[in-house]
Chains A and B, each alone.
Chain A
Amino acid sequence: MNLRLIKQRFMLHLDPILLSGLGALLLVSLLTLYSASGGNEMRVFGQLGNIAIGFVALWIVANMPLHWLMRIAVPVYVLGMLMLVGVALFGEISHGARRWLNLGFMNFQPSELMKVAVPLMMAWYFEKHEATLTMKNYVIATLLLLLPVTLILRQPDLGTSILIAASGFYVLFLAGLSWRVIIGLLVTAAASAPFLWNMLHEYQRHRIMMLFDPSQDALGKGYHTIQGMIAVGSGGLLGKGYMQGTQTHLEFLPERTTDFIFAVYSEEFGFVGNLFLLGLFAFVIGRGFMITAGASTYFTRLMAGSITLTFFTYAFVNMGMVSGILPVVGVPLPLVSYGGTSMLTLLLGFGVLMSIHTHQRLVKT
């Protein structure tokens, strides 16, 4: 009796449908990680830890009333921006990029925080000016987006900046940015491509170049892409079987537990397995859209839509990169790749989604 009450209270702000989709994806993650790490339980336990921390965050956020979210938007955004500037000035350099901030007790990557903070800030901004939206508001919102994106791009971290730019753009798009402006921006972007090209770092340019012809540098920059495609392609219709992938287990695949985990999964479970995985992603995204459609306020609609679409973008960019239709930009497969920070950010996002869903449900009833 008591237990039932606890359970009820625990589940109060969680969405079982979304939860089951996430659970299935996380199960795929644990299974694939075990294989990708060559049967190393430590990786699996590590990921379980990441999931546990992420779930605590999810639960907390899901239980937060919506106006709390509104209230923390500005402070979180400002804090994130300050930390990004801090990174640019005093950040730790690792692997040739300045991404980490040493807080004394831990290393923190402020760009991860911005994945949530930027759409939150923009949604908050649009909510504030909902009644009187003019072109000026869109310009300001765009600036709110471009400032952190530029800073992250300069770290350099192409993958994260693309994802944040996407999440911000989704807010702009859902907030009703006029088609004329969107098309205008696209044309401007195309026109300024050469300029942006010059802005990119050498290794980023290389990665994009390799997309068009990975065989050009088969042992160097193209190696990741080629080995990824070989792993996926050799999986065939039904896959080589769990723990049987030769590309994976003989270590031809780079970054097997992180960015290239999709190749591991594809090699072992084949096309049929991929359909299942894509189905799971579609299920979660679909549920996200449903929650978005049902959201009651402007702010929650923008937030829910942006979170859902960003999640999709994550997945699409990663799978596209592994299967060779997008350049290797260093984006993990959401919920499946090994990694604490991205797991936390993602589950935090889903926490927001559940909060949006359950709090207004409570309002309605």
Chain B
Amino acid sequence: MTPHVELKNHQRERYLFSLRLIFCLGFVTVLLAILVARTFYLQVWKHEYFDTMAESNRIFVVPIVPNRGVITDRNGEVLARNYAGYTLELTPEKIPDLNATIAEIGKLVEIKPKDLRRFKKLMSERRSLQTLPVKTRLTDEELARFAAQRYRFPGVEIKARLFREYPLSETTSHLLGYIGRINQQELDDLDKKGLAGNYMGSDYIGKTGIEERYEKEMHGVTGFEQIEVDAGGRAVRMLSRTAPQSGKDLQLTLDAGLQQVAEEAFGDYRGALVAIDPANGEILSFVSKPGYDPNLFIDGIDTESWDALNNSPDVPLNNRALRGQYPPGSTIKPFMALTGLHFDIRSPSFSISDPGYFTLQGSSHQYRDWKTGGHGKVDLFKSIVVSCDTYYYGLATELGIDRMHEYLEQFGFGKHTGIDLKGETSGLLPSTEWKKKRYQQIWYPGDTVSAGIGQGYNLVTPLQLAFATATLANDGVAYRPHLVKDIQHAPDEKPAAPEPLYDLQIPAEHLALVKSAMQAVVKPGGTAVGAFWGVPYPVAGKTGTAQVIGVKQGEKYDEDKVSEYNRDHAWFIAFAPADKPRIALAVLAENGGHGGSTAAPIARKVLDYYLLGKKPKPLQKVIEQAGAEDD
């Protein structure tokens, strides 16, 4: 370039400018092409991706929770129902100062310390963005008061919800169980099973009992509303709606009236009762005493009530009928008698002379009969009527434990009955193999002796014993015990009639002998004559007494209670009418002493009600129950 003045060279200047302009033109063209390419990429190449994003932007899926199925008893009495109510729910993420907000709400709506405690517990186990009820079941007045001041409480909502209620409360607690708020673990489980979608919007899930076992049937299918929302999340319009399918109603085999009678019959005794229709396995009554109020659990139980239930020496949360394992005691004897007949070890006419004790050959150890001095001449019939221990010591010894195991197992001892409840225990029916496996020990002849009268290692659940009794009552044809009679279905469908599990093929004369002996149990000379004095229908029964070894490990020594908790458990099994049984049952009264004196009267009341429609005299303690509502 020349620094000095130069004449204008228009030609050259124009030429240079044109070059620059052409360069600019190229530059512009390239950039425009980039824009075309970019919009092509976004609008054509990735269109589907962005379209999906735009759709998920605007479409919000709102789940519609289905109504949970209702549970009724066999006669249509409602045992679990839903009712509409309002709750006050908080979303903790949206509330800066939770305590202050709750205090403010407390000025409008009564929040009891119990509500607060429950809320704190829910806080500790909640899922994120979940709303938590601080107050359930608002009264109309509270509802109106809060609604007027709602604007002051962002993050607090009134929600209309269906609540679960168990009208019979404690009476049906152990069989119905309860629903409760879904926790994280249950959510993970649902996720694994691919059910999480169906639980969108559901807050509750069956936790125990029928509610847990039939969760799938009763929950129903969640419906969906597709709602178009704007950027502020406000609903603009509804795009589509898939109606929810209500959960199915369940009809139980239970007889609610019988259940109440049975529960009341226990009085202050702890224990369990299972009554079965022998002809089909339908469970007519399923009691575990004491019970608890399942309504407490629905919205999350507060810590105090939970501790009270959990730490009670009476363990009300334990389902004794399903999970309690006790030595069967003398109730095993009718089944032992059948075992002896089956293996031809005993004939009906064979009798022993009972000195009041039994000794094994080559040993001086005396296994005592419950009656000092013995029962004299005892054949099979009498052995059941008077519950002679000596007879069964000898029978067991001659049978050997493995033959006992083989035959008794067929009555369902030592294994699950297959009832439609979760958490059943299997009891224990010992054998040499079992002992070797469990204790790496050989079986001693002495073990067999006590097993013969249902002591030693033997353990049964009240359910198992009721099942065995029903099988015996039904002449060896077993039906799976079950609680659900019918699940709601289309009108043209018929529920399948229960099929027998198996037939033990017990010879008729064996059955007749044992059954007649059991009938004699409730007659003069029998062990349960007191309870069944003047009974108008034929009853077959058997008493039993299970020894309590002592206070269990880990339990506190309680001076007042120790004698009571150490007393023997009382058993009674029965079926009636003996000639054509409609009901078979097993009753256990914990620490009730002798079967004939405590367990048999309970059975009598239950049988009277079921067969005669006779209600027993009302008990005094019924009145106290009204106070339970408050807490």
Chain A residue, CB-CB nearest to B38:
A323
Q: How far is the CA of A170 from the CA of B1 in the complex (A)?
A: 21
A309→B39 CA distance, assembly (Å): 22
Q: Residue A60 at the B interface, CB < 8 A? A: no
Contact of B34 among A282, A324, A325 (CB under 8 A): A325
B50 touches A250 (CB 8 A): no
Q: Which of A150-195 contact B (CB under 8 A)?
A: 170, 173-174, 176
B67 shortest CB reach to chain A, Å = 33
B47 pairs with A233, CB closer than 8 A: yes
Per DSSP, are chain A's interface residues mostly helix, strand or loop, or mixed? Answer: helix
Query: How far apart are the CA atoms of A250 and B50 in the complex, in Å?
Result: 16
Residue of B nearest to A249 (CB): B230
Q: Which residues of B contact A323 (CB under 8 A)?
A: 35, 38-39, 42
Contact status B57-A233, CB under 8 Å: no
Identify which of B21-29, B147-155, B335-343, B511-519 touches chain A: B21-29
Chain B window 15-50, contacts with chain A (Cβ cutoff 8 Å), 1 for yes, 0 for no: 011101100110010011011101110111011011
In the bound complex, how far is the Cα of B42 from the Cα of A292, in angstroms? 34
Does B35 contact A319, Cβ atoms closer than 8 Å?
A: yes
On whether the beta carbons of B47 and A236 are closer than 8 Å, the reply is: yes
Query: Are A251 and B43 interface neighbours, CB within 8 A?
Result: no
- Does B116 touch A at the CB level, under 8 Å? no
Q: Which residue of B has the minimal Cβ distance to A295?
A: B17
**Given the complex of chains A and B, what is the CA–CA distance between A292 and B43 in angstroms?**
35
* CB within 8 Å of A: which B37-70 residues: 38-40, 42-44, 46-47, 49-51, 53-55, 57-58
Distance (Å) between the CB of B16 and the closest chain A CB?
A: 6
Interface of B is mostly: helix
Is B28 touching A271 in the complex (CB atoms < 8 A)? Answer: no
Decide if B43 touches A232 in the complex (CB within 8 Å). Answer: yes
- B57 x A293 contact (CB < 8 A): no
A131-B8, A234-B53, A250-B229 known; A229-B42 Cβ under 8 A: yes
**In residues 159-206 of chain B, which contact A (Cβ within 8 Å)?**
none
| A170 → B minimal CB distance (Å) | 8
**A278: contacting residue among B1, B36, B50, B232, CB under 8 A:** B36
Output the nearest chain A residue to B29 by Cβ-Cβ distance. A282
Question: In the complex the two chains form, what is the Cα distance from A231 to B231 in whole Å?
Answer: 13
Q: Indicate if A312 sits at the interface (CB-CB under 8 A).
A: yes
Q: Is A54 on the interface with B (CB-CB < 8 A)?
A: no
Is B559 engaged at the interface, CB distance under 8 Å to the other chain? no
User: Residue A26 at the B interface, CB < 8 A?
Assistant: no
Q: Is B13 an interface residue (CB 8 A)?
A: yes
Given A132, A247, A251, A274, which contacts B5 in the complex, CB threshold below 8 Å?
A132
Contact status A251-B230, CB under 8 Å: yes
- Is B492 an interface residue when CB atoms closer than 8 A count as contact? no
Interface residues of B in 192-239 (CB under 8 A from A): 228-232, 236
A316 close to B (CB within 8 Å) = yes
Which of B7, B34, B42, B50 has the largest number of chain A CB atoms within 10 A? B42
B629 within 8 A of A: no
In contact, B39 and A274 (Cβ under 8 angstroms): yes
- In the bound complex, what is the Cα–Cα distance between A130 and B55 (angstroms)? 59
Contact A252:B36 (CB < 8 A) given known A134-B3, A233-B46: no
Q: Is the beta-carbon distance between A233 and B32 smaller than 8 angstroms?
A: no
Alpha-carbon distance A134/B3, docked complex (angstroms): 7
The answer to whether B6 touches A247 (Cβ under 8 A) is no
**Chain B min CB distance to A327 (Å):** 14
Does A224 reach chain B (CB closer than 8 Å)? Answer: no
Contact B230 A305 (CB under 8 A): no
* Contact assessment for A247 and B38 in the assembled complex, using a CB-CB cutoff below 8 Å: no
**Is A134 a contact of B1 with CB atoms below 8 Å?**
yes
Interface residues of A in 127-162 (CB under 8 A from B): 130-132, 134-135
CB distance from B358 to the nearest CB of A (A): 84
Q: Does A214 contact B (CB under 8 A)?
A: no
The range of chain A's interface size is 35 or more
Known: A237-B44, A250-B236, A275-B36. A176 touches B28 (CB 8 A): no
> For residues 432 through 488 of chain B, which have their beta carbon under 8 Å from a beta carbon of chain A?
none
A320 x B35 contact (CB < 8 A) = yes
Residues of B within 8 A of A281 (CB): 32
Residues in A with CB closer than 8 Å to B5 are: 131-132
Are B39 and A266 closer than 8 Å at their CB atoms? Answer: yes
Residues of B close to A309: CB separation below 8 A: 24, 28
User: Chain B residue with minimal CB distance to A233?
Assistant: B50
Chain A residues with CB under 8 A of B230: 250-252
C-alpha gap A285/B28 in the complex (Å): 9
Asked if A312 and B28 sit within 8 Å, CB to CB, the answer is yes
Within 99-150 of A, Cβ neighbours of B (below 8 Å) are at: 130-132, 134-135
Say whether A233 contacts B49, CB under 8 Å. Answer: yes
Are B44 and A246 in contact, CB atoms less than 8 angstroms apart? no
Given contacts A176-B16, A270-B43, contact A234 B38 (CB under 8 A): no
Highest count of chain A CB atoms <10 Å: which of B3, B39, B231, B232: B39
Instruction: Let me know if B43 and A233 touch, CB within 8 A.
Output: yes
Contact across chains for B13 and A232 when beta carbons are under 8 A apart = no
A207 part of interface (Cβ distance < 8 Å) = no
Closest A residue to B7 by beta carbon equals A131
Chain B residues closer than 8 Å to A134, beta-carbon distance:
1, 3
**Whose C-beta in chain B lies nearest to the C-beta of A131?**
B8
Does A301 sit within 8 A of B, measured CB to CB? Answer: yes
Q: Give Cα distance in the complex from A270 to B18, angstroms.
A: 36
A230 at the interface (CB under 8 A from B): yes
Please name all residues of chain B whose beta carbon is closer than 8 Å to the beta carbon of A292 when the two chains form the complex: 21
Q: Pick the residue among A132, A135, A170, A278 that contacts B6 (CB under 8 A).
A: A132
Indicate if A55 sits at the interface (CB-CB under 8 A). Answer: no
- A233 B40 Cβ-Cβ under 8 A: no
Instruction: Give the docked Cα–Cα distance between A319 and B39 (Å).
Output: 9
Choose from B24, B38, B53, B58 the contact partner of A250 (Cβ within 8 Å).
Answer: B58
Complex contact A236–B44 (CB within 8 A): yes
Residues of A within 8 A of B55 (CB): 234, 246
Q: Residue A230 contacts which of B21, B32, B39, B54 (CB distance < 8 angstroms)?
A: B54
**In whole angstroms, how far apart are the Cα atoms of A274 and B38 in the complex?**
11
Minimum CB–CB distance for A21 against chain B, Å: 15
Best-surrounded residue of A131, A230, A247 (most CB of chain B within 10 A): A230
Q: Is A235's CB within 8 Å of the partner chain B? A: yes
Asked if A130 meets B8 with Cβ closer than 8 Å, knowing A176-B20, A250-B229, A293-B21, the reply is: yes
How far is A309 from B43 in the complex, measured between Cα atoms in Å?
27
CA distance A230 to B53 in the complex (A): 7
10 more contacts with CB within 8 A, not counting A134-B3, A252-B231, are A130-B8, A174-B24, A230-B50, A230-B54, A232-B43, A247-B54, A251-B231, A274-B36, A278-B36, A319-B35
**Which 3 pairs across A and B sit closest by C-beta, in order of nearness?**
A233-B50, A234-B54, A233-B42
- Sample of 20 A–B contacts (CB below 8 Å): A131-B6, A174-B24, A232-B39, A232-B50, A233-B49, A233-B51, A233-B54, A236-B47, A246-B58, A246-B228, A247-B57, A266-B39, A278-B35, A281-B32, A282-B32, A289-B25, A293-B21, A312-B28, A312-B31, A325-B38
